Amino acid sequence: MTSHLTPPHPRRRTVVLAAAATAALAPITTLGAQAAHAAGAAPAFLHGVASGDPLPDGVLLWTRVTPTPEAVPGSGLGPATAVGWEVAEDKAFSRIVASGSVTATAASDHTVKADVRGLRPQTPYWYRFTADGTVSPAGRTLTAPAAGTSTPGIRFGVVSCANWESGYFSAYRHLAARTDLHAVLHLGDYIYEYQTGGYPEAKYVVRQHEPKNEIVSLSDYRTRHGKYKTDGDLQALHAAHPIVAIWDDHEFADNSWSDGAGNHTPGTEGDWAARAAAAKQAYFEWMPVRPSVAGTVYRRLQFGTLADLHLLDLRSFRSEQAKTGSGSVDDPERTITGRAQLDWLKSGLASSNATWKLVGTSVMISPVAFASLPAHLLKPLAHLLGLPEGGIAINTDQWDGYTDDRKELLGHLKDRNIKNTVFLTGDIHMAWANDVPVNMATYPGSGTAATEFVVTSVTSDNIDDMLHVAPHTLSVVAEGAIKAANWHVKWLDMDSHGYGVLDVTAERSQMDYYVVSDKRRQDASSSWARSYRTLNGSQKVERADRPVS
Protein backbone atom coordinates (compact mmCIF):
# COMPACT_ATOMS: atom_id res chain seq x y z
CA MET A 1 0.00 0.00 0.00
CA THR A 2 1.23 3.47 -0.85
CA SER A 3 -0.15 6.46 0.97
CA HIS A 4 0.09 10.19 1.27
CA LEU A 5 -0.93 12.15 4.34
CA THR A 6 -1.45 15.90 4.28
CA PRO A 7 -1.54 18.08 7.39
CA PRO A 8 -5.13 18.35 8.66
CA HIS A 9 -6.93 21.66 8.62
CA PRO A 10 -7.27 23.60 11.90
CA ARG A 11 -15.10 10.37 15.61
CA ARG A 12 -28.38 -19.12 20.24
CA ARG A 13 -29.71 -21.51 18.63
CA THR A 14 -28.87 -24.38 21.13
CA VAL A 15 -29.97 -22.42 24.14
CA VAL A 16 -33.29 -21.47 22.64
CA LEU A 17 -34.20 -25.10 22.04
CA ALA A 18 -33.19 -25.94 25.60
CA ALA A 19 -35.16 -23.08 27.08
CA ALA A 20 -38.24 -24.15 25.16
CA ALA A 21 -38.06 -27.65 27.07
CA THR A 22 -32.19 5.26 6.08
CA ALA A 23 -29.17 5.85 6.53
CA ALA A 24 -27.99 9.20 5.27
CA LEU A 25 -25.03 7.43 3.73
CA ALA A 26 -26.97 4.67 2.00
CA PRO A 27 -24.89 3.10 -0.80
CA ILE A 28 -25.98 2.69 -4.38
CA THR A 29 -28.49 -0.11 -4.90
CA THR A 30 -26.84 -3.44 -5.55
CA LEU A 31 -29.11 -4.52 -8.41
CA GLY A 32 -28.63 -1.25 -10.24
CA ALA A 33 -24.86 -1.44 -9.82
CA GLN A 34 -24.78 -5.05 -11.00
CA ALA A 35 -26.82 -4.24 -14.10
CA ALA A 36 -24.58 -1.31 -14.97
CA HIS A 37 -21.49 -3.41 -14.38
CA ALA A 38 -22.72 -6.25 -16.58
CA ALA A 39 -23.24 -3.80 -19.42
CA GLY A 40 -19.56 -2.82 -19.51
CA ALA A 41 -16.15 -3.85 -18.31
CA ALA A 42 -15.45 -0.99 -15.88
CA PRO A 43 -14.64 -1.99 -12.28
CA ALA A 44 -17.55 -1.78 -9.82
CA PHE A 45 -17.98 -1.50 -6.06
CA LEU A 46 -20.90 -3.87 -5.53
CA HIS A 47 -20.32 -4.67 -1.84
CA GLY A 48 -20.18 -1.23 -0.28
CA VAL A 49 -17.48 0.30 1.87
CA ALA A 50 -16.65 -0.11 5.55
CA SER A 51 -14.42 1.13 8.32
CA GLY A 52 -13.46 -0.49 11.61
CA ASP A 53 -11.29 -0.67 14.72
CA PRO A 54 -11.07 3.11 15.29
CA LEU A 55 -7.94 4.45 16.99
CA PRO A 56 -7.25 7.99 18.21
CA ASP A 57 -5.10 8.63 15.14
CA GLY A 58 -6.58 6.31 12.55
CA VAL A 59 -9.04 3.75 11.28
CA LEU A 60 -9.10 0.69 9.04
CA LEU A 61 -10.87 1.17 5.68
CA TRP A 62 -12.29 -1.68 3.56
CA THR A 63 -13.95 -2.33 0.23
CA ARG A 64 -14.22 -4.99 -2.46
CA VAL A 65 -13.82 -4.16 -6.13
CA THR A 66 -15.29 -6.31 -8.91
CA PRO A 67 -12.84 -5.67 -11.76
CA THR A 68 -14.75 -7.63 -14.42
CA PRO A 69 -18.25 -9.16 -14.48
CA GLU A 70 -16.98 -12.71 -13.99
CA ALA A 71 -14.87 -11.80 -10.94
CA VAL A 72 -17.62 -12.61 -8.44
CA PRO A 73 -16.73 -13.42 -4.80
CA GLY A 74 -15.14 -16.83 -4.44
CA SER A 75 -14.52 -17.25 -8.17
CA GLY A 76 -10.77 -16.72 -8.12
CA LEU A 77 -11.19 -14.83 -11.38
CA GLY A 78 -10.36 -11.29 -12.39
CA PRO A 79 -7.23 -9.22 -12.99
CA ALA A 80 -5.21 -7.31 -10.44
CA THR A 81 -6.67 -3.83 -10.10
CA ALA A 82 -5.27 -0.65 -8.62
CA VAL A 83 -7.63 0.86 -6.02
CA GLY A 84 -7.16 4.36 -4.72
CA TRP A 85 -8.54 5.62 -1.42
CA GLU A 86 -9.16 9.09 0.00
CA VAL A 87 -10.02 10.42 3.45
CA ALA A 88 -11.55 13.88 3.78
CA GLU A 89 -12.81 16.20 6.47
CA ASP A 90 -16.00 16.87 4.53
CA LYS A 91 -18.58 14.84 2.62
CA ALA A 92 -17.84 16.79 -0.58
CA PHE A 93 -14.17 15.69 -0.41
CA SER A 94 -12.96 19.25 -0.84
CA ARG A 95 -10.55 18.88 2.12
CA ILE A 96 -8.71 15.61 1.57
CA VAL A 97 -6.30 14.82 4.42
CA ALA A 98 -5.03 11.37 3.44
CA SER A 99 -4.87 9.28 0.29
CA GLY A 100 -3.15 6.23 -1.09
CA SER A 101 -3.49 3.16 -3.24
CA VAL A 102 -3.54 -0.60 -2.88
CA THR A 103 -3.83 -3.45 -5.36
CA ALA A 104 -6.84 -5.77 -5.33
CA THR A 105 -6.06 -9.31 -6.52
CA ALA A 106 -7.80 -12.65 -6.73
CA ALA A 107 -5.52 -13.86 -3.93
CA SER A 108 -7.52 -11.72 -1.49
CA ASP A 109 -10.82 -12.13 -3.37
CA HIS A 110 -10.35 -8.55 -4.64
CA THR A 111 -10.94 -7.14 -1.15
CA VAL A 112 -8.65 -4.33 -0.01
CA LYS A 113 -7.85 -2.61 3.27
CA ALA A 114 -6.09 0.62 4.12
CA ASP A 115 -4.92 1.13 7.71
CA VAL A 116 -4.93 4.91 7.76
CA ARG A 117 -2.98 6.78 10.44
CA GLY A 118 -2.15 10.40 11.20
CA LEU A 119 -5.75 11.49 11.73
CA ARG A 120 -7.07 13.64 14.56
CA PRO A 121 -8.73 12.05 17.60
CA GLN A 122 -12.51 11.99 18.04
CA THR A 123 -13.06 13.49 14.61
CA PRO A 124 -15.49 12.47 11.85
CA TYR A 125 -14.05 11.75 8.41
CA TRP A 126 -15.43 10.70 5.05
CA TYR A 127 -13.72 8.15 2.82
CA ARG A 128 -14.13 6.58 -0.62
CA PHE A 129 -12.34 4.39 -3.13
CA THR A 130 -11.67 4.64 -6.87
CA ALA A 131 -10.75 2.12 -9.55
CA ASP A 132 -10.14 2.99 -13.19
CA GLY A 133 -12.45 5.99 -13.05
CA THR A 134 -15.18 4.31 -10.99
CA VAL A 135 -15.89 5.95 -7.61
CA SER A 136 -17.27 3.95 -4.70
CA PRO A 137 -20.07 5.07 -2.40
CA ALA A 138 -18.76 7.35 0.36
CA GLY A 139 -18.56 6.23 3.97
CA ARG A 140 -18.34 8.14 7.21
CA THR A 141 -16.15 7.10 10.10
CA LEU A 142 -15.07 8.46 13.48
CA THR A 143 -11.73 8.22 15.27
CA ALA A 144 -11.49 7.36 18.98
CA PRO A 145 -10.80 9.89 21.75
CA ALA A 146 -7.13 10.56 22.45
CA ALA A 147 -5.36 8.37 24.97
CA GLY A 148 -5.24 9.85 28.44
CA THR A 149 -7.98 12.39 27.77
CA SER A 150 -11.46 12.48 29.24
CA THR A 151 -14.58 12.49 27.12
CA PRO A 152 -18.13 13.12 28.34
CA GLY A 153 -19.46 9.92 26.82
CA ILE A 154 -19.26 7.24 24.15
CA ARG A 155 -22.12 5.40 22.52
CA PHE A 156 -22.10 2.04 20.69
CA GLY A 157 -24.68 0.19 18.68
CA VAL A 158 -24.56 -3.48 19.73
CA VAL A 159 -25.68 -6.39 17.53
CA SER A 160 -25.23 -10.13 16.95
CA CYS A 161 -26.65 -13.16 15.16
CA ALA A 162 -27.79 -12.13 11.69
CA ASN A 163 -29.01 -15.15 9.74
CA TRP A 164 -29.71 -14.21 6.11
CA GLU A 165 -32.40 -16.85 5.60
CA SER A 166 -34.30 -15.94 8.79
CA GLY A 167 -35.22 -12.41 7.79
CA TYR A 168 -34.18 -8.91 6.77
CA PHE A 169 -31.56 -6.76 8.43
CA SER A 170 -33.80 -3.86 9.38
CA ALA A 171 -32.00 -3.60 12.74
CA TYR A 172 -28.91 -2.52 10.79
CA ARG A 173 -30.94 0.09 8.92
CA HIS A 174 -32.18 1.67 12.14
CA LEU A 175 -28.67 1.79 13.59
CA ALA A 176 -27.33 3.26 10.34
CA ALA A 177 -29.84 6.08 10.60
CA ARG A 178 -28.54 7.17 13.99
CA THR A 179 -26.05 10.02 14.06
CA ASP A 180 -25.03 9.66 17.72
CA LEU A 181 -22.92 6.47 17.62
CA HIS A 182 -19.14 6.29 18.01
CA ALA A 183 -19.07 2.75 16.59
CA VAL A 184 -21.11 -0.43 16.22
CA LEU A 185 -20.01 -3.50 18.17
CA HIS A 186 -20.78 -6.76 16.38
CA LEU A 187 -20.50 -9.65 18.83
CA GLY A 188 -20.45 -12.52 16.37
CA ASP A 189 -22.48 -14.68 14.00
CA TYR A 190 -22.17 -12.01 11.33
CA ILE A 191 -22.75 -14.81 8.80
CA TYR A 192 -24.21 -18.33 9.09
CA GLU A 193 -22.72 -21.43 7.52
CA TYR A 194 -25.79 -23.60 6.87
CA GLN A 195 -27.11 -24.82 3.53
CA THR A 196 -30.31 -23.20 2.36
CA GLY A 197 -33.23 -24.59 4.33
CA GLY A 198 -30.94 -25.92 7.04
CA TYR A 199 -31.81 -23.24 9.59
CA PRO A 200 -34.62 -22.35 9.56
CA GLU A 201 -36.53 -25.07 7.72
CA ALA A 202 -37.01 -24.46 4.02
CA LYS A 203 -40.69 -23.52 4.39
CA TYR A 204 -39.74 -20.68 6.75
CA VAL A 205 -36.86 -19.29 4.68
CA VAL A 206 -37.33 -15.59 3.88
CA ARG A 207 -34.50 -15.37 1.31
CA GLN A 208 -31.94 -17.92 0.17
CA HIS A 209 -28.26 -18.18 0.93
CA GLU A 210 -25.51 -18.15 -1.66
CA PRO A 211 -24.02 -20.60 -2.15
CA LYS A 212 -26.98 -22.86 -1.44
CA ASN A 213 -24.78 -25.61 0.01
CA GLU A 214 -23.28 -25.52 3.49
CA ILE A 215 -20.08 -23.52 3.25
CA VAL A 216 -16.91 -25.57 3.70
CA SER A 217 -14.24 -24.34 1.25
CA LEU A 218 -12.51 -20.96 0.99
CA SER A 219 -14.57 -20.23 -2.12
CA ASP A 220 -17.75 -21.05 -0.20
CA TYR A 221 -16.95 -18.75 2.72
CA ARG A 222 -15.98 -15.92 0.35
CA THR A 223 -19.22 -16.33 -1.60
CA ARG A 224 -21.31 -16.26 1.60
CA HIS A 225 -19.56 -13.12 2.89
CA GLY A 226 -20.05 -11.52 -0.50
CA LYS A 227 -23.76 -12.33 -0.51
CA TYR A 228 -24.23 -10.75 2.91
CA LYS A 229 -22.55 -7.57 1.77
CA THR A 230 -25.04 -7.13 -1.05
CA ASP A 231 -27.70 -6.38 1.58
CA GLY A 232 -28.61 -2.69 1.41
CA ASP A 233 -29.19 -2.33 5.17
CA LEU A 234 -25.85 -3.96 5.98
CA GLN A 235 -24.09 -1.71 3.45
CA ALA A 236 -25.77 1.31 5.04
CA LEU A 237 -24.59 0.29 8.51
CA HIS A 238 -21.01 -0.08 7.35
CA ALA A 239 -21.09 3.21 5.46
CA ALA A 240 -22.48 5.10 8.45
CA HIS A 241 -20.33 3.89 11.38
CA PRO A 242 -17.02 2.16 12.10
CA ILE A 243 -17.51 -1.47 13.10
CA VAL A 244 -15.76 -3.32 15.91
CA ALA A 245 -16.33 -7.03 15.31
CA ILE A 246 -15.48 -10.40 16.82
CA TRP A 247 -16.45 -13.82 15.57
CA ASP A 248 -18.46 -16.59 17.18
CA ASP A 249 -19.17 -20.10 15.92
CA HIS A 250 -21.27 -19.54 12.80
CA GLU A 251 -18.47 -17.70 11.05
CA PHE A 252 -16.99 -21.24 11.12
CA ALA A 253 -19.63 -23.88 11.99
CA ASP A 254 -22.14 -24.34 14.79
CA ASN A 255 -20.63 -25.05 18.22
CA SER A 256 -17.07 -24.86 16.95
CA TRP A 257 -14.07 -25.41 19.19
CA SER A 258 -10.32 -25.56 18.60
CA ASP A 259 -10.31 -28.99 16.92
CA GLY A 260 -13.79 -29.36 15.48
CA ALA A 261 -17.42 -28.33 15.55
CA GLY A 262 -20.82 -29.78 16.26
CA ASN A 263 -21.77 -28.98 12.67
CA HIS A 264 -18.71 -30.51 11.03
CA THR A 265 -18.38 -34.10 9.78
CA PRO A 266 -14.75 -34.92 8.98
CA GLY A 267 -15.67 -37.88 6.76
CA THR A 268 -17.76 -35.81 4.36
CA GLU A 269 -16.67 -32.24 5.01
CA GLY A 270 -12.91 -32.68 5.07
CA ASP A 271 -10.32 -31.71 7.65
CA TRP A 272 -11.49 -29.28 10.33
CA ALA A 273 -8.19 -27.38 10.40
CA ALA A 274 -8.50 -26.66 6.67
CA ARG A 275 -12.12 -25.55 7.03
CA ALA A 276 -11.33 -23.29 10.00
CA ALA A 277 -8.36 -21.78 8.15
CA ALA A 278 -10.58 -21.04 5.14
CA ALA A 279 -13.21 -19.43 7.37
CA LYS A 280 -10.62 -17.23 9.07
CA GLN A 281 -9.03 -16.18 5.80
CA ALA A 282 -12.37 -15.17 4.32
CA TYR A 283 -13.34 -13.36 7.52
CA PHE A 284 -10.22 -11.21 7.55
CA GLU A 285 -10.55 -10.55 3.82
CA TRP A 286 -14.17 -9.42 4.08
CA MET A 287 -14.32 -7.70 7.48
CA PRO A 288 -12.81 -4.32 8.54
CA VAL A 289 -10.96 -6.02 11.40
CA ARG A 290 -7.26 -6.00 12.24
CA PRO A 291 -5.90 -9.52 12.84
CA SER A 292 -4.55 -9.79 16.37
CA VAL A 293 -2.43 -12.39 18.15
CA ALA A 294 -1.79 -15.41 15.92
CA GLY A 295 -4.51 -14.40 13.47
CA THR A 296 -7.29 -14.27 16.04
CA VAL A 297 -9.69 -11.47 16.96
CA TYR A 298 -8.83 -10.86 20.60
CA ARG A 299 -7.55 -7.34 20.96
CA ARG A 300 -8.06 -4.14 22.92
CA LEU A 301 -9.32 -0.70 21.92
CA GLN A 302 -9.23 2.38 24.14
CA PHE A 303 -11.62 5.31 24.27
CA GLY A 304 -9.75 7.94 26.24
CA THR A 305 -9.89 7.52 30.00
CA LEU A 306 -13.56 6.63 29.92
CA ALA A 307 -13.47 3.05 28.64
CA ASP A 308 -11.21 0.22 27.55
CA LEU A 309 -12.84 -2.34 25.26
CA HIS A 310 -11.39 -5.86 25.61
CA LEU A 311 -12.50 -8.10 22.73
CA LEU A 312 -12.38 -11.89 23.09
CA ASP A 313 -11.94 -14.85 20.74
CA LEU A 314 -13.84 -17.71 22.36
CA ARG A 315 -13.59 -20.22 19.49
CA SER A 316 -9.93 -20.56 18.53
CA PHE A 317 -8.62 -21.96 21.81
CA ARG A 318 -11.53 -23.60 23.60
CA SER A 319 -11.85 -27.23 24.60
CA GLU A 320 -14.64 -29.36 23.19
CA GLN A 321 -18.05 -28.68 24.71
CA ALA A 322 -19.09 -30.92 27.61
CA LYS A 323 -22.35 -32.84 27.62
CA THR A 324 -25.23 -31.10 29.37
CA GLY A 325 -25.37 -32.16 33.00
CA SER A 326 -21.80 -33.43 33.03
CA GLY A 327 -19.57 -32.54 35.96
CA SER A 328 -16.69 -32.16 33.51
CA VAL A 329 -17.73 -28.52 33.05
CA ASP A 330 -15.78 -27.91 36.28
CA ASP A 331 -12.61 -29.63 35.02
CA PRO A 332 -9.69 -27.17 35.42
CA GLU A 333 -8.01 -28.65 32.35
CA ARG A 334 -10.85 -27.44 30.14
CA THR A 335 -10.76 -23.88 28.80
CA ILE A 336 -12.86 -21.47 26.80
CA THR A 337 -10.20 -18.76 26.44
CA GLY A 338 -6.90 -20.59 26.35
CA ARG A 339 -4.18 -19.76 28.87
CA ALA A 340 -2.52 -16.94 26.97
CA GLN A 341 -5.77 -15.08 26.26
CA LEU A 342 -7.01 -15.39 29.83
CA ASP A 343 -3.73 -14.03 31.17
CA TRP A 344 -3.89 -11.20 28.62
CA LEU A 345 -7.41 -10.32 29.72
CA LYS A 346 -6.61 -10.44 33.43
CA SER A 347 -3.53 -8.28 32.94
CA GLY A 348 -5.43 -5.76 30.84
CA LEU A 349 -8.25 -5.47 33.36
CA ALA A 350 -5.86 -5.07 36.28
CA SER A 351 -3.72 -2.43 34.59
CA SER A 352 -6.57 -0.43 33.09
CA ASN A 353 -6.93 3.15 34.29
CA ALA A 354 -10.20 3.60 32.43
CA THR A 355 -13.38 4.26 34.36
CA TRP A 356 -15.14 1.39 32.59
CA LYS A 357 -13.74 -2.00 31.57
CA LEU A 358 -15.95 -3.25 28.74
CA VAL A 359 -15.50 -6.86 27.64
CA GLY A 360 -16.90 -8.06 24.32
CA THR A 361 -17.67 -11.76 24.76
CA SER A 362 -19.46 -13.76 22.08
CA VAL A 363 -21.15 -16.09 24.61
CA MET A 364 -22.78 -15.42 27.96
CA ILE A 365 -20.60 -15.39 31.07
CA SER A 366 -23.44 -15.18 33.62
CA PRO A 367 -24.38 -18.61 34.95
CA VAL A 368 -27.79 -19.95 33.98
CA ALA A 369 -28.68 -23.18 35.73
CA PHE A 370 -31.50 -25.25 37.13
CA ALA A 371 -31.45 -27.60 40.13
CA SER A 372 -29.81 -24.97 42.32
CA LEU A 373 -29.40 -25.93 45.98
CA PRO A 374 -27.86 -24.21 48.99
CA ALA A 375 -24.09 -24.26 48.76
CA HIS A 376 -23.60 -26.58 51.73
CA LEU A 377 -25.72 -29.22 49.97
CA LEU A 378 -24.90 -28.57 46.34
CA LYS A 379 -21.14 -28.97 46.46
CA PRO A 380 -20.96 -32.39 48.16
CA LEU A 381 -23.94 -33.70 46.20
CA ALA A 382 -22.42 -32.56 42.93
CA HIS A 383 -19.17 -34.28 43.87
CA LEU A 384 -20.96 -37.56 44.66
CA LEU A 385 -23.09 -37.54 41.53
CA GLY A 386 -20.56 -36.07 39.12
CA LEU A 387 -22.71 -33.01 38.47
CA PRO A 388 -21.69 -29.39 37.92
CA GLU A 389 -21.14 -27.57 41.20
CA GLY A 390 -23.19 -24.60 39.98
CA GLY A 391 -26.28 -26.64 39.09
CA ILE A 392 -27.37 -28.18 35.81
CA ALA A 393 -26.32 -25.73 33.10
CA ILE A 394 -28.67 -25.04 30.20
CA ASN A 395 -25.90 -24.39 27.69
CA THR A 396 -22.40 -25.81 27.92
CA ASP A 397 -21.34 -23.88 24.80
CA GLN A 398 -21.11 -20.69 26.88
CA TRP A 399 -19.01 -19.99 29.99
CA ASP A 400 -21.23 -22.41 31.96
CA GLY A 401 -19.38 -25.21 30.20
CA TYR A 402 -15.98 -23.88 31.30
CA THR A 403 -16.48 -22.92 34.91
CA ASP A 404 -12.82 -22.96 35.96
CA ASP A 405 -11.92 -20.16 33.53
CA ARG A 406 -14.91 -18.16 34.75
CA LYS A 407 -14.05 -18.77 38.40
CA GLU A 408 -10.48 -17.62 37.80
CA LEU A 409 -11.55 -14.48 35.94
CA LEU A 410 -14.25 -13.44 38.40
CA GLY A 411 -11.96 -14.22 41.33
CA HIS A 412 -9.37 -11.96 39.74
CA LEU A 413 -11.89 -9.12 39.55
CA LYS A 414 -12.83 -9.58 43.18
CA ASP A 415 -9.30 -10.10 44.56
CA ARG A 416 -7.87 -7.13 42.69
CA ASN A 417 -10.92 -4.99 43.51
CA ILE A 418 -11.48 -4.23 39.83
CA LYS A 419 -14.67 -2.21 39.53
CA ASN A 420 -16.96 -1.31 36.63
CA THR A 421 -16.45 -4.39 34.47
CA VAL A 422 -19.29 -4.78 31.99
CA PHE A 423 -19.61 -7.83 29.76
CA LEU A 424 -21.29 -7.21 26.39
CA THR A 425 -22.68 -10.37 24.86
CA GLY A 426 -24.57 -11.86 21.91
CA ASP A 427 -25.12 -15.47 20.74
CA ILE A 428 -28.17 -16.51 22.72
CA HIS A 429 -30.94 -14.90 20.58
CA MET A 430 -32.45 -13.27 23.66
CA ALA A 431 -31.95 -10.03 25.56
CA TRP A 432 -30.73 -10.21 29.17
CA ALA A 433 -29.61 -7.86 31.94
CA ASN A 434 -27.61 -9.68 34.61
CA ASP A 435 -25.53 -9.30 37.69
CA VAL A 436 -22.52 -11.60 37.36
CA PRO A 437 -22.29 -13.32 40.76
CA VAL A 438 -18.98 -14.24 42.32
CA ASN A 439 -20.62 -17.49 43.41
CA MET A 440 -24.03 -18.38 42.06
CA ALA A 441 -24.78 -20.88 44.82
CA THR A 442 -24.53 -18.18 47.50
CA TYR A 443 -25.75 -15.16 45.53
CA PRO A 444 -26.56 -12.46 46.57
CA GLY A 445 -24.54 -13.03 49.72
CA SER A 446 -21.33 -13.67 47.78
CA GLY A 447 -21.69 -10.39 45.92
CA THR A 448 -21.22 -9.57 42.25
CA ALA A 449 -18.01 -9.34 40.27
CA ALA A 450 -19.41 -7.52 37.22
CA THR A 451 -22.53 -6.87 35.18
CA GLU A 452 -23.62 -8.19 31.80
CA PHE A 453 -25.82 -6.88 29.02
CA VAL A 454 -26.85 -9.42 26.38
CA VAL A 455 -28.42 -8.32 23.08
CA THR A 456 -30.86 -10.44 21.13
CA SER A 457 -30.46 -11.55 17.52
CA VAL A 458 -30.86 -9.40 14.46
CA THR A 459 -32.82 -12.21 12.76
CA SER A 460 -31.75 -15.64 14.06
CA ASP A 461 -34.59 -17.75 15.42
CA ASN A 462 -35.59 -17.62 19.07
CA ILE A 463 -38.37 -19.38 20.98
CA ASP A 464 -41.45 -17.98 19.29
CA ASP A 465 -39.86 -18.54 15.85
CA MET A 466 -39.00 -22.15 16.63
CA LEU A 467 -42.40 -22.93 18.15
CA HIS A 468 -44.20 -20.87 15.49
CA VAL A 469 -46.37 -19.08 18.00
CA ALA A 470 -47.12 -15.45 18.67
CA PRO A 471 -44.34 -13.67 20.60
CA HIS A 472 -44.56 -13.50 24.38
CA THR A 473 -47.01 -16.36 24.82
CA LEU A 474 -45.36 -19.66 25.79
CA SER A 475 -42.04 -17.98 26.59
CA VAL A 476 -43.51 -16.20 29.61
CA VAL A 477 -43.43 -19.49 31.52
CA ALA A 478 -39.80 -20.16 30.58
CA GLU A 479 -38.74 -16.62 31.49
CA GLY A 480 -40.34 -16.99 34.91
CA ALA A 481 -38.64 -20.34 35.52
CA ILE A 482 -35.22 -19.01 34.58
CA LYS A 483 -35.54 -15.93 36.79
CA ALA A 484 -36.83 -18.01 39.72
CA ALA A 485 -33.79 -20.28 39.59
CA ASN A 486 -31.30 -17.52 38.76
CA TRP A 487 -31.81 -14.50 41.02
CA HIS A 488 -28.99 -12.58 39.37
CA VAL A 489 -30.99 -12.41 36.11
CA LYS A 490 -32.81 -9.11 36.36
CA TRP A 491 -34.56 -9.21 33.00
CA LEU A 492 -34.80 -11.29 29.86
CA ASP A 493 -36.79 -11.19 26.65
CA MET A 494 -36.82 -14.52 24.85
CA ASP A 495 -38.87 -13.55 21.78
CA SER A 496 -37.83 -10.23 20.26
CA HIS A 497 -35.32 -9.35 17.56
CA GLY A 498 -33.40 -6.11 17.43
CA TYR A 499 -30.31 -4.39 18.77
CA GLY A 500 -28.86 -2.48 21.69
CA VAL A 501 -27.41 0.98 22.21
CA LEU A 502 -24.82 1.20 24.97
CA ASP A 503 -24.29 4.67 26.40
CA VAL A 504 -21.27 5.13 28.66
CA THR A 505 -20.58 8.15 30.86
CA ALA A 506 -18.47 8.62 33.98
CA GLU A 507 -21.58 8.08 36.09
CA ARG A 508 -23.05 4.93 34.49
CA SER A 509 -23.18 2.46 31.65
CA GLN A 510 -26.67 2.01 30.22
CA MET A 511 -27.97 -0.45 27.64
CA ASP A 512 -31.10 0.55 25.75
CA TYR A 513 -32.81 -2.44 24.16
CA TYR A 514 -34.67 -1.90 20.86
CA VAL A 515 -36.91 -4.36 19.03
CA VAL A 516 -37.99 -4.53 15.40
CA SER A 517 -41.64 -5.07 14.51
CA ASP A 518 -41.21 -8.00 12.12
CA LYS A 519 -37.92 -9.48 10.94
CA ARG A 520 -39.67 -10.86 7.85
CA ARG A 521 -40.43 -7.37 6.54
CA GLN A 522 -37.80 -5.15 4.96
CA ASP A 523 -39.64 -2.07 6.17
CA ALA A 524 -39.89 -3.21 9.81
CA SER A 525 -40.14 -0.41 12.34
CA SER A 526 -38.08 -0.14 15.52
CA SER A 527 -39.16 0.70 19.05
CA TRP A 528 -37.57 1.00 22.47
CA ALA A 529 -38.30 -1.93 24.79
CA ARG A 530 -36.32 -1.58 28.05
CA SER A 531 -33.23 0.06 29.54
CA TYR A 532 -30.90 -1.23 32.22
CA ARG A 533 -27.83 0.41 33.70
CA THR A 534 -25.06 -0.06 36.20
CA LEU A 535 -23.80 2.90 38.20
CA ASN A 536 -20.15 3.71 38.69
CA GLY A 537 -18.90 1.52 41.53
CA SER A 538 -22.15 -0.36 42.14
CA GLN A 539 -21.49 -3.69 40.34
CA LYS A 540 -25.28 -4.06 40.13
CA VAL A 541 -27.83 -3.87 37.31
CA GLU A 542 -30.88 -1.69 37.78
CA ARG A 543 -33.71 -0.68 35.53
CA ALA A 544 -33.63 2.76 33.88
CA ASP A 545 -36.86 4.58 33.17
CA ARG A 546 -36.08 5.70 29.63
CA PRO A 547 -33.48 5.44 26.88
CA VAL A 548 -30.70 7.94 26.49
CA SER A 549 -31.61 10.89 24.31
Query: Do 62 and 51 meet the contact criterion of CB atoms below 8 Å apart?
Result: yes
Both 241 and 348 in a single domain?
Answer: yes
In whole angstroms, give the CA distance from residue 520 to residue 524. 8
pLDDT in tens, 389-423: 666 677 899 999 999 999 999 999 999 999 999 99
Q: Which residues pair with 85 in a beta bridge?
A: 100, 129
In whole angstroms, give the CA distance from residue 430 to residue 497. 8
In whole angstroms, give the CA distance from residue 480 to residue 433. 14
- The answer on pLDDT for 377 being more than 60 is no
17 assigned to some structural domain: no
Among 118, 144, 170, identify where a domain stops.
144
Between 28 and 371, where is the model more confident? 371
Residue 76 belongs to domain with CATH number = 2.60.40.380
In whole angstroms, give the CA distance from residue 409 to residue 394. 21
Average pLDDT over the chain, rounded to whole? Answer: 90
In whole angstroms, give the CA distance from residue 474 to residue 292. 43
Query: Do 80 and 32 meet the contact criterion of CB atoms below 8 Å apart?
Result: no
Both 152 and 81 in a single domain?
Answer: no
- The answer on pLDDT for 388 being more than 70 is no
Q: Which pLDDT value is given to residue 488?
A: 94
Q: Cβ atoms within 10 A of the Cβ of 118, count?
A: 14
Both 351 and 476 in a single domain?
Answer: yes
Q: Is 205 helix (H, G, I), strand (E, B) or coil?
A: coil
Both 281 and 365 in a single domain?
Answer: yes
Residue 499 belongs to domain with CATH number = 3.60.21.70
Q: How confident is the model at residue 380 (pLDDT cuts 50, 70, 90)?
A: low
DSSP 374-432: -HHHHHHHHHHHT--TT-EES-TTSGGG-HHHHHHHHHHHHHTT---EEEEE-SSSSEE
Q: How many domains does the chain have?
A: 2
549 assigned to some structural domain: no
- The answer on pLDDT for 383 being more than 60 is no
Cβ neighbours of residue 385 closer than 8 Å, sequence gap 6 or more: 327
Q: Which pLDDT value is given to residue 445?
A: 87
In whole angstroms, give the CA distance from residue 397 to residue 389. 17
In whole angstroms, give the CA distance from residue 519 to residue 522. 7
Cβ neighbours of residue 277 closer than 8 Å, sequence gap 6 or more: none
Residue 404's domain comprises 145-544
Q: pTM (2 decimals)?
A: 0.91
Q: Which pLDDT value is given to residue 389?
A: 61
Between 323 and 93, where is the model more confident? 93
Both 66 and 206 in a single domain?
Answer: no
pLDDT in tens, 194-252: 999 999 999 999 999 999 999 999 999 999 999 999 999 999 999 999 999 999 999 99
Both 136 and 184 in a single domain?
Answer: no
Both 134 and 229 in a single domain?
Answer: no
Both 359 and 409 in a single domain?
Answer: yes
